[in-house]
Amino acid sequence: MASSKNFDFKRILVGVDDSDDAILAFRYAISRAAKTHAQLILCSVLETNETNVYQSLDKDYVHGKRSDLVKHMKTYEEAAKKGGVKDVKSIVAEGNAGEVIVKDVIPHVEPDLLIIGSQAKKGLARHFGSQAAYMAKYSPISVLVVR
């Protein structure tokens, strides 16, 4: 059975949100990227639907949350470099995590593989894994779901 699909992934995108599953996905992504000398792109999404209407009207609140997340992503970058990954970048996006990653981040960074945890950190979605299911179903690239 011959396949034309190349599984030599050179650019790996991993979603991080501090959930246990996302941390496992992050660790796996570090290991894979380090072994294969792939670029590792870290992505976290500031879910704007989790802010209330008053917070969303306060530009300082949203900006503060975003800047906190950007700073936090630096700790992930440092961990990836300590894990042996030579080329690490991070992206902070806003919106619904699954949709933003599939519709905006993937077309922008053009990864070969998406690695995600099976459950989200917050909200009802964490019980159903709806973000992971959405990304696995609609992603134009291969998706590895870690649990």
Q: At 119, which CATH number? A: 3.40.50.620
Looking at the domain assignment, is residue 112 inside a domain? Answer: yes
Segments forming the whole domain that contains residue 129: 11-146
Q: How far is CA 71 from CA 52, 61, 66, 75, in A?
A: 23, 15, 9, 7
pLDDT of residue 147: 85
Q: What does the alpha-carbon distance between residue 139 and residue 92 come to, in Å, rounded to a whole number?
A: 18
Looking at the domain assignment, is residue 126 inside a domain? Answer: yes
Domain count, the chain: 1
* pLDDT 10s digits, 107-143: 999 999 999 998 765 544 444 468 899 999 999 999 9
Q: How far is CA 139 from CA 11, 83, 91, 108, in A?
A: 15, 27, 18, 13
Position 50 confidence tier, pLDDT thresholds 50, 70, 90: low
Average pLDDT, rounded, for the chain? 85
Looking at the domain assignment, is residue 36 inside a domain? Answer: yes
Looking at the domain assignment, is residue 47 inside a domain? Answer: yes
Q: How far is CA 122 from CA 113, 126, 144, in A?
A: 24, 6, 21
pLDDT of residue 120: 63
pLDDT of residue 57: 45
Looking at the domain assignment, is residue 6 inside a domain? Answer: no
Looking at the domain assignment, is residue 33 inside a domain? Answer: yes
Looking at the domain assignment, is residue 5 inside a domain? Answer: no
Q: Is the pLDDT of residue 4 over 80?
A: no
Looking at the domain assignment, is residue 4 inside a domain? Answer: no
Q: Is the pLDDT of residue 33 over 70?
A: yes
* pLDDT 10s digits, 81-98: 999 999 999 999 988 899
Listed range (27-31, 39-43, 117-121) with the worst mean pLDDT: 117-121
